Chains A and B, each alone.
Chain A
Amino acid sequence: MKPVIYLIFLAVLTIASCKKDSVINQTSATAAEAQKALSGTINVTLKDNNNVLWTGTNTGLIRGTGKDAILYTPTNSVLISGTIQALALGINNTIWIGTDKGLIKYTGTNWFVYTTDNGMLTNDNVKAISFDVLKNTALVKLVNNEVVKINN
């Protein structure tokens, strides 16, 4: 009887370790993609209230560094472009992300998109963002030098 129990235990252990490896491999793959993006052109960086570094590149937005880094791109998030041209920090650690195809707000749990498509911008090419904490408003400078105010 004992060998049977031992074999079952071994099987459970093997399955559990396979699952764990699978998760590690997936995370590693994500981090590797992020490292690859970091080795390219860096357009802008931002450190948020939790000391997390955000890096804007021409191939996406990277959250964090090292093995915990995550690369956000148009194919795995609502980013409308991988060309990140501006970053700004809003209240409650909200990250404002300017791209050549629109503006994104990331609250830590939700993503919001501001583009000409939904009528929130007059031009999708965002060149710079600053945040007015007192008015809780993002000031978004577009490629045509127009400044759009978006209340948080």
Chain B
Amino acid sequence: MMMMMKKIIFFGLSLFSYVHLSAQSASISERSEIISDAYVAQGVDFPGSLTVQGFSQCGIWVTSNYIFATYWDVDRRLTLARRSTAFGSSWVRMRFPDVQNSIDSHCTPTVGVSPQDNSIHLAYGHHVTTLRYRQSGAGAATVADADFNGTLFPPMKNYLPPSTTSITQLTYPNFVVGKDSNLLLFYRKGGSGDGDTYVAEYSAFPMPTWSTPTQIINRTGSYMGNTSRSAYPNDIRCKDGVLYLTWCWRESSSSISTNHDLCYARSADNGQTWYNSAGTQVGGGGMIMNLNSSGLVVKPISNAYSETNNQGETVDNENRVHTFLRYAKVAGGDTDTYYHVWRSTAGTWVTKQLTLPGATNSLGRPKLYCDVVNDVLYAVCIVSGKITIFASKSSETYAKWYQIFTDTVNYGSDSNGYITNAGNLLYVYAHRATSSNSSELDLVKISLNPSGSLAGKPIVAQ
């Protein structure tokens, strides 16, 4: 009888596992430990991982052959690690001992690689502080493992050459590959609720040169009596040489309860001129985008909703820009609500509310990726400490989302990652949850099955 019971239980569990697994269309391909003890701030004003935060767009950088990862080690010293994209490859690393980072989770490190000359660019440790920047020579990204060390970089600069003017009051540096494969550096100058957004452009030809930074968004304008603010861009994407920028305004550093609106602009010349959703020029030619610029707000959002800043953005195969927004409040309470907001091919903006399982103050900043081959959107979130992926298809007009993956490991934070051009592999940079001052930093490679049908109980967009 006992034996029979065991068989029934075993059969039941097997059946459950089969049904559970068959409903998944994503799975762990590889979990690569980058370092076992990267610094985590505890008991300070800005706690959490010093390396992996939702606002960091390029803590990792993926090229056709290599993956680069930056982190602050247990002594809060900067390290750049690199490994081949091939399965199971080992990391090689270089450590820069000259700077010890502040205990402030804003100060994440970022890395960018110029596709033009394979030079490596690092910006690190900023929260309204002077630029910390290192630029390697050409070819550094592809040297042999034996040569991947600190000799690839001259000492740190606080300017972007050929200018020698220090860039001050900088936060949120993020690299993006723009038109003509020029590398772009976006950053905020000034404080939260009182700052401007800039972009600078790196070209390797005829000689490696940064442009003078251009101010693209200005803090001015009046909102409910307040006369200064800052833009908080979502992940900045460039597709086919066009930059797609979405952001919210923030009136004060004190709270996300001063965040409001979803704004949008695009640029086809690496940020020199900008156009709103209707195609009217709003930036460049003597204009700088600001609160009063025509048609920037594509979705009015009251500050009463406490819209989160630095959220997910992506662009699909039909050049429709998508955002995945979280509001921390709804009428009557502190309940998270999530919205998929996108620009249709006709130029109208569509909003769908999503009720995500387990999403109660636990998703942080969802990141959004598009498999442009199969036109599948992937939203990556941390739900109850687990990396969780929701997916939605263009062919279903994004009316349904499916929970296609839930990890087994507990993570404290993740940041923007990378989806391969084929849309079959997603890289997520994640820091394990801990109550101590250090924990393991992982590169999580997740296999996607974009050509397969999305399975499971759909979450209907309302």
Q: Are B154 and A26 in contact (CB under 8 A)?
A: no
Q: Are A111 and B155 in contact (CB under 8 A)?
A: no
Q: Does B151 belong to the interface (CB within 8 Å)?
A: yes
CB distance from A109 to the nearest CB of B (A): 5
Q: Does A77 belong to the interface (CB within 8 Å)?
A: yes
Interface hits, A95-121 → B, CB 8 Å = 102, 105, 109-115, 117-120
Closest to A103 in B: B151
CB distance from A82 to the nearest CB of B (A): 12
Q: Are A75 and B161 in contact (CB under 8 A)?
A: yes
Which residues of chain A are near B333, meaning CB under 8 Å? none
Q: Are B152 and A112 in contact (CB under 8 A)?
A: yes
Q: Are B143 and A110 in contact (CB under 8 A)?
A: yes
Q: Does B162 belong to the interface (CB within 8 Å)?
A: yes
Q: Does A66 belong to the interface (CB within 8 Å)?
A: no
Instruction: Choose, from B132-140, B361-369, B441-449, the stretch at the interface.
Output: B132-140
Given contacts A78-B154, A120-B151, whether A110 and B137 have CB atoms under 8 Å apart is: yes
Q: Are A76 and B207 in contact (CB under 8 A)?
A: yes
Interface hits, B142-182 → A, CB 8 Å = 143, 147, 149-156, 161-162, 164
CB distance from A122 to the nearest CB of B (A): 15
Q: Are A77 and B208 in contact (CB under 8 A)?
A: yes
CB distance from A73 to the nearest CB of B (A): 8
Closest to B155 in A: A117
Which residues of chain B are near A35, meaning CB under 8 Å? none
Q: Are B151 and A114 in contact (CB under 8 A)?
A: yes
Q: Are A117 and B98 in contact (CB under 8 A)?
A: yes
Q: Are A30 and B161 in contact (CB under 8 A)?
A: no
Q: Does B302 belong to the interface (CB within 8 Å)?
A: no
Q: Does B255 belong to the interface (CB within 8 Å)?
A: no
Which residues of chain A are near B14, meaning CB under 8 Å? none
Q: Does B206 belong to the interface (CB within 8 Å)?
A: yes
Q: Which of A26, A109, A115 contacts B155 (CB 8 A)?
A: A115
CB distance from A147 to the nearest CB of B (A): 19
Q: Are A118 and B206 in contact (CB under 8 A)?
A: no
Closest to A33 in B: B207
Encode contact with A along B192-206: 1 for CB under 8 Å, 0 otherwise: 000000000000011
Q: Are B161 and A110 in contact (CB under 8 A)?
A: no
CB distance from A9 to the nearest CB of B (A): 26
C-alpha gap A78/B157 in the complex (Å): 11
Q: Are B140 and A113 in contact (CB under 8 A)?
A: no
Which B residues contact A (CB, under 8 angstroms)? 96-98, 135-140, 143, 147, 149-156, 161-162, 164, 205-209
The 7 closest A-B pairs by CB, nearest first: A111-B137, A75-B162, A118-B150, A76-B207, A78-B137, A75-B161, A112-B151
Could you pull out 25 A-B pairs where Cβ atoms are within 8 angstroms? A23-B206, A30-B206, A74-B154, A75-B162, A76-B208, A77-B208, A78-B136, A78-B137, A78-B154, A80-B155, A109-B139, A110-B137, A110-B138, A110-B140, A110-B147, A110-B152, A111-B137, A112-B147, A112-B151, A113-B153, A114-B151, A115-B154, A117-B154, A118-B96, A118-B151
Given A117-B154, A118-B153: 9 more A-B contacts, CB < 8 Å: A23-B206, A75-B209, A80-B154, A80-B155, A110-B152, A112-B147, A113-B151, A118-B149, A118-B151
